[in-house]
Structure formats: structure tokens, C-alpha cells
Amino acid sequence: MKIKFLLIILLLLFPQLSNAAIESRELANPEQQVIYENLISELRCLVCQNQTIGESNADLASDLRRQVYEMLQQGQSKQDILLYMANRYGDFVLYNPPFKAKTSLLWLGPVLFLVGGLISAFLFIRHKKQNKLLLLEDNPEQTEKLEKIRSLLNTGDRS
């Protein structure tokens, strides 16, 4: 039992072991190296869902990394490569998709939720306030009670 526990701790100390399958590639130009690292963390691995091609050791991810690397070596720009990928795998491959009619809900959704939330909060608060006012103004029984309470508070209960 203790050994198992120690082993788990030991494994947790070496998280990079899980990345062992991902090769490291060096580009001659350090600027391109930065673009390479950027690109592989911006492209989605299509078979592993919710992993970038830089994180995944799937076969397809490694092919896509090779493609990115080769295109950079040929002197293509980041935009060229993103376009190349999107033309073959769709916007789905991009973790940072462009704003289009098709992706508008994706981009505007959070704003819509915020606006919706603010409007309903506003209505809710106003409704509450009105209820309170109604309670005080329109109900003679209530006013009577309220006055009684006030007078009690002011003068104190002598009973």
C-alpha cells in the first residue's frame, strides 16, 4: 500500500514523461521556431478532441506537426499554414477560429449571455422594488401594521 502511494507521488513528480512521444523540432531561424511552437499549440488534433497537435502523440498530430515544420522551412507564413489547415480540415482545426457568419454564435454567445443576464437581473430587481412599494402604498392593512410597528419602535412597549 505504502509503496503504491510512493510510486504515485514519484510519477506525479515527472509529468513530462507523458510527453515523451512528442519529438522536438528545431528550426534554423529562432523567429520561425516561435511561430512553430505557436502553431502547434493553436491547431487542434482532430482525432483526440480537445488536445492541440503539440500536446498529442496521435499519429495524425505528428503528421500535422511535420506538415507545419516543412511549410515553415519552405518559408511560408503563419497565415499561409493556418489557411492550408483550415482548407483541409475546416475551421474546427483552429483553436482560434475567425469571425464568420458560421462562427458568430461562438464569438457572440458569451456577450449574449451577459446581456441576457444583466437584463433579467435588472428586471428582477425592479420587480422586487415595485413589490415593496406596492406593499407599502396600496395595502391599508399593511400601512396600519407598519405604523403600529413604527410607533412601538419610537415609544417602546410599555406593557
Partner 1 sequence: MVKYIIPLLLFSILSIFLAIGLNLKPNEIPSPLINTQAPPFNADQLQNPLQKLSPTDLKGQVWLLNVWASWCSSCREEHKVLNHLAQQKMAVIVGLNYKDSNEAANNWLNTLGNPYTTTIVDPEGRIGLDWGVYGVPETFVIDKQGIVRHKLTGPVTDDNVQQLLIPLIKQLQME
Tell me whether residue 83 is exposed, middle or buried, using C-beta atoms within 10 angstroms of its C-beta: 0 to 12, 13 to 18, 19 or more.
middle
Check residue 64 for interaction with partner 1 (CB under 8 A): yes
Residue type, 60: L
Query: Could you give the angle at the alpha carbon of 38 between the alpha carbons of 32 and 43, nearest 5°?
Result: 125
Other residues' Cβ atoms within 10 Å of the Cβ of residue 35: 18
Write the DSSP assignment of 13-59 as a string of letters. T-GGGGGTTS-----SSHHHHHHHHHHHTTBBPTTTSS-BTTT---H
Stretch binding partner 1 (CB under 8 A), from 29-37, 74-82, 88-96, 149-157:
88-96
Binding residue (CB under 8 A) for partner 1 from 33, 52, 57, 67: 67
Total interface residues for partner 1 by CB under 8 A? 14
Shortest CB 30 distance to partner 1, Å? 27
Stretch binding partner 1 (CB under 8 A), from 24-32, 34-42, 60-68, 141-149:
60-68
Check: CB of residue 61 under 8 Å from CB of residue 53: yes
Measured from the CB atom, the residue of 122 and 152 that comes closer to partner 1 is 122
Measured from the CB atom, the residue of 95 and 159 that comes closer to partner 1 is 95
Shortest CB 33 distance to partner 1, Å? 22
Binding residue (CB under 8 A) for partner 1 from 59, 138, 141, 157: 59
Shortest CB 117 distance to partner 1, Å? 13
| Helix, coil or strand: residue 74 | coil
Q: Distance between CA atoms of 5 and 40, rounded to whole angstroms?
A: 35
Residues contributing to the site for partner 1 (CB under 8 A): 46-47, 49, 59-60, 63-64, 67, 86-90, 92
